[in-house]
Structure 1
Amino acid sequence: MNTHECIIIGSGPAGYTAAIYAARYGRKPLLFSGLLQGGQLTQTTDVDNYPGFPNGIQGEDLVQNMLAQALLFGTEVKHQMIVSVDTTDRPFKLTASDDAVYYAESVIIATGATAKYLGVTNEQKYLGMGVSACATCDGYFYRNKEVIVVGGGDTALEEAIFLANLASKVHLLVRKDHFRASAIIQDHLKGYSNVEIHYNTELEEVLGNDQFVEAAVVRDNVNNTISIMPIDGIFIAIGHTPNTEVFQSILEVDDIGYIKTIPGSTYTNVPGIFACGDVQDTKYRQAITAAGSGCMAAIDTERFLNNRAIKNGFYCVEVDSNGITVNQ
């Protein structure tokens, strides 16, 4: 039987960091990278807020460095997806996209989340070249520049407020005639004079040169009129979709689909399965926090493996009333 002590599903900062730690523990982890090897960070150009790189680093280079480090310590990587997980028995049964079957004493889920985009013309063409889905990640590059934020929920208003402290002007495009955001954040937004709200307005097309965004085509959906807005950057803030389709039938998830973990840990409701990174993070969604939770997942996994015992044919661990492993 093709059994591994630790299988990691997903790459990127969370998955690769978990692999580095698990490999250094001597667990010889097997990592399935998925279709987007390296995760969302590979779609980011300049990363200048990751500690240790004072001159910045390309997103692709950063995850490649992480991968090299994981391989150095003995991680095995397969460029496949896991399409099903069976927790009926232990070890867990995992089936890959090539129909190969693997068994795991423990599983770390680091499949991340996918930013939602509008699908308008040239949106993907200029991704990382003026189009972004993360103001916290990329806002620094738009100091004293004019930007657009698209969306009407909490995320969009939070992005607009963040950018208002950097950009000279923020245009907030809201598809409806009202916000969906909570009242408290709407009140907070009123304190920023450099934020202009455009209700009943939608982004239709992104315009630019061979290197960067130069303007946006926007539509007034009441009068059905089109205008061109010169702009330096466009931030799409309509939410994220966690990549949890495979796990929703076996793990507890929230209303959106993010995996629920016990606060202060990476434990899921199934002993031996851990979740880290954006797949369980609805708040921070940063490369550095993903890497940190990947470290946590590897440590939690190591403690689980060290404390397992055979009882009635099943692997189990001693836990307290909150479900946290004890006697570590």
Structure 2
Amino acid sequence: MANRQGIRVVCPLRELLVGILVVTPFSLQAAPAQVSGELNSRYTDNAAQSGINEESDIESRAYLGVRHTSDPGQCNSDLGARLGYGYWLDDTFDPETYASLDFAGDCRIVDGLIWQVTDNMRDIDQDSRANNNPDNKTRKNVFRTGPVWTLRLSPVNQLSFAAEYENTEFSEPEETDGERYIGTVAYNHFFNSTLTGGVTASRDWAELDTEEEIDRETLSLTFSKDWAATSLNGSLGVSEIETSLNDTTRSTDGFVGNLEVVRQVNPTTEMSLEASRELTDQTSDFDIRFGEFVFRQEQTGAVEVSAVRFRTTTEFSAGSSLALTAFASRSDYIDLGTEEESAGYNVSYRRPVTARLSATLGEDITT
């Protein structure tokens, strides 16, 4: 592999956040919902996150959030959305809007057959080699829908088939949108109430705006285990990805997998560890699932991505909390022969000042 050609350096960011949070519950379609409003101001001593000409500034933001989970029934849905507007006091950057969306829904058509819909939207970095500031942002939306048919072969054996359509769009016109069709077959065996194992085979076909076609096949062993205070799930397998553009075809294969461990250390502290390795492309939802990971959006084609993330949260008395996230990732742009690596951490301490006012002190470092 070629030497790494780009490096993304985000200088230490120390910030003080003071906000007002108002939560108002109301009724929506006979199910409880919440609408939240938030005003906050954030001071930073390096607004552009640049290694030179550091400038301090204060950004004020107003947020409106919605959270709704439907009552269990023939159709189910879960929605979380947030819309914000930010303004910089010393005009380091122009005013910006911020948005995020997580929606998951399904409807039972007949016994064993459901139709699923998911939609995820995030503000992400455009260029992994540039600094993490508003000038390097775009909005990414990944929509997926399709049927899932599940057959109960026996009380402990299950077979499922899924056919899905996925559409990825970016807010900036220079980014590459794409469509994807995904077929999946999965077998699961329930060894007992806490242990499940199985095998999954999938194939997807993607076509980008550039007329590049990306095909991928994956075969994985899956597992899931629960204990009293710990849960473990993941997969391990092989994958092959093929890209075609202008009568040129390239293919590569390798081991892929993912792992997630969640541990409830005590009533106030939870820890989690996530790791994933995939053969994919920049229109996938990998950077939404691993929010610290950044694709080089100007590059299309096959990417071998690896990411690991550790999180811990602790709740203290009087409503204060401490959160720490450490992460590392590597991306290998196969068609270009280049690699990029990133690592960092963020830590924040939140403490209520009054019933509706809280202060947050945090630090975020990425290299």
TM-score w.r.t. structure 1 length? 0.23
TM-score scaled by length of structure 2: 0.22
Between the two structures, name the one with larger relative contact order (CA 8 Å, sep ≥ 6).
Answer: 1
Q: Which has the higher strand share?
A: 2
Structure number with the higher helix fraction is 1
